[in-house]
Amino acid sequence: MKKLWSVNPPFTGGREPAPPGAFLPMVRRIFSRFDPLQFVPLIVLVSAGLLFIYGTGQQIGFGAEHIWKRQLVYLGIGMGIWLFLTFFDYRWLGPASIVIYPLSLFFLILVLFIGIKRNEAARWLALGGITFQPSEFAKLAVLLAVSWILSFKKADINKILWAVLVFLTAAIPFGLIYLEPDLGTALVLFPAVGAIAFAANLKFRYIIIIMVILLSATPAIYMNLKPYQVERIKTFMDPERDPMDRGWNAIQAELSVGSGGLTGKGFMCGTHCMLGYLPQTVANSDFIFSVISEETGFLGTVSLLLLYACLLFSIYRTALLAPDPFGRNFCVGTGTILTVHVTVNMGMCLRLLPITGVPLPLISSGGTFLIVMMTYLGVVQSVYANRHRESFLEV
């Protein structure tokens, strides 16, 4: 057999057979594209979200017990986009924002005319049997556009023309989102854009000037709020002024968090969701932090915070490793959006902030937000994967 083997070697298509261990470098190259500090908390957070969406659905009933299946589909789509972007060169997304940004504005205008109204707000658009929130798509578009604008060699955020361009890029979608109305989502834009401007070397004196202008404009902003928004602020300041109606959700959300104790009441054993003290229509989205805190207690809440801290560390570390300003800017903006969402969602459940419809990233139910958040993180992962490559789109 040895002689036959030497005379008649197996057919290899004209190529030498790969030596043992030849695939190991390729496997290493593939896995080197993944940042474990992002991947691990990402998987744990989306799994926890799916678990508690299932749990709240079983407690609520009336059709909510099947929401987790829909969320699983959204998660599959989001993971597919995340994987695609991991092996995609993110640098092409800068020039692509020339198309993505106007398209997002088109959807924001469209939703004002033919949007699906829920609770007196037209925030959802149905096209071809698919329902989505254009505002979430617009946030992504603004981040891409501003990050790309401030990555130009001649860009200087400290010069008036560049500052006005960046401001208008964020202000136009902000105004359209505000008209839906969706003030909570709109307000997320400016911290993200501000963080990108800071990363682009905005001088400290201009930051002070902007803060003074915003503080001076606060009374005018308050006077132009809609009545229900004013009531939210008043209720936040004093929930006991109307404890059985407008202050009910804030009070019960805080009680739900506090009732978990050290270790919690156990999965699907929380009474506030089961008995309807939390608003059941949004218990698995806006108030899912209260559900998690009640069922897992202080230890579960701290674990959740540590997962978000690890994820944020990976995002900002990737910003430092980014090979070009576009990647750095986008990572900083993504980290800020994640920080704002986590802070506002948890803050409203602890009565530290007014109640707004800001979901908890990767955990709250909702298809558009989950898919867009996975897109953010996919682009960040692409920046990490290409951290050793020089930019080929210098402008």
Let me know the angle formed at the C-alpha of 362 by 310 and 119, rounded to the nearest 5 degrees: 140
> If DSSP codes are grouped into helix, strand and coil, which group holds residue 7?
helix
Instruction: Tell me the per-residue pLDDT of 341-379, one tens digit each, with 9 for 90 and over.
Output: 999 999 999 988 888 878 999 999 988 999 999 999 999
Residue 134, pLDDT above cutoff 50: yes
pLDDT at 79: 96
Q: Which pair of tokens denotes residue 167?
A: 């401001």
pLDDT at 4: 44
Instruction: Tell me the per-residue pLDDT of 189-210, one tens digit each, with 9 for 90 and over.
Output: 989 999 999 999 988 888 898 8
Q: Does residue 376 fall inside a structural domain?
A: yes
pLDDT at 3: 47
**Using an 8 Å Cβ cutoff, are 115 and 298 in contact?**
no
Binning pLDDT at 50, 70 and 90, where does residue 1 land? very low
pLDDT at 157: 92
Task: Please count the other Cβ atoms lying within 10 Å of the Cβ belonging to residue 207.
Answer: 13
Let me know the angle formed at the C-alpha of 30 by 26 and 32, rounded to the nearest 5 degrees: 115
SS3 content of the chain, % helix, strand, coil (to 5): 70, 5, 30
Instruction: Tell me the per-residue pLDDT of 29-41, one tens digit each, with 9 for 90 and over.
Output: 666 778 889 999 9
Q: Does residue 158 fall inside a structural domain?
A: yes
Residue 14, pLDDT above cutoff 70: no
Q: Give the residue, 309 or 117, on which the prediction is more confident.
A: 309
* Continuous H helices in 200-270: 204-223, 227-237, 248-258
**C-alpha distances out from residue 85 to 103, 327, 335, Å:** 20, 13, 17
62 secondary structure, DSSP code: T
Q: Across-strand partners of 121?
A: 118
Q: Does residue 55 fall inside a structural domain?
A: yes
Residue 394, pLDDT above cutoff 70: no
Instruction: Tell me the per-residue pLDDT of 211-267, one tens digit each, with 9 for 90 and over.
Output: 888 788 778 777 777 777 777 777 777 777 777 767 788 888 899 999 999 999 999
Least confident range from 86-90, 166-170, 220-224: namely 220-224
Least confident range from 110-124, 130-144, 351-365: namely 110-124
Task: Work out how many domains the chain is built from and give that number.
Answer: 1
pLDDT at 232: 74
Q: Does residue 2 fall inside a structural domain?
A: no
DSSP 106-163: HHHHHHHHHPEEETTEEEEEEETTEEE-HHHHHHHHHHHHHHHHTTSTT--TTSHHHH
User: Is the backbone peptide bond immediately before 20 cis, with ω within 30 degrees of 0?
Assistant: no
Output the average pLDDT for the chain. 86
Q: Which residue has the tokens 């799916």?
A: 50
**What is the rounded distance in angstroms from the CA atom of residue 180 to the CA atom of residue 201?**
34
Closest CA to 279 of 64, 113, 101: 64
pLDDT at 60: 82
Q: Across-strand partners of 132?
A: 125
Across 44-64, average pLDDT = 89
Instruction: Tell me the per-residue pLDDT of 299-314, one tens digit each, with 9 for 90 and over.
Output: 999 999 999 999 999 9
Question: One-letter amino acid identity for 84?
Answer: F
Across 13-23, average pLDDT = 54
Range of the domain at 273: 37-385
Q: Give the residue, 137 or 234, on which the prediction is more confident.
A: 137
Instruction: Tell me the per-residue pLDDT of 256-295, one tens digit each, with 9 for 90 and over.
Output: 999 999 999 999 888 888 888 888 788 888 899 999 999 9
Residue 8, pLDDT above cutoff 70: no
Q: Does residue 134 fall inside a structural domain?
A: yes
**What is the rounded distance in angstroms from the CA atom of residue 95 to the CA atom of residue 114?**
30
Residue 10, pLDDT above cutoff 60: no
Q: Does residue 30 fall inside a structural domain?
A: no
Q: Does residue 13 fall inside a structural domain?
A: no
Q: Does residue 155 fall inside a structural domain?
A: yes
pLDDT at 25: 67
**C-alpha distances out from residue 174 to 88, 105, 171, 229, Å:** 29, 10, 5, 17
Residue 19, pLDDT above cutoff 70: no
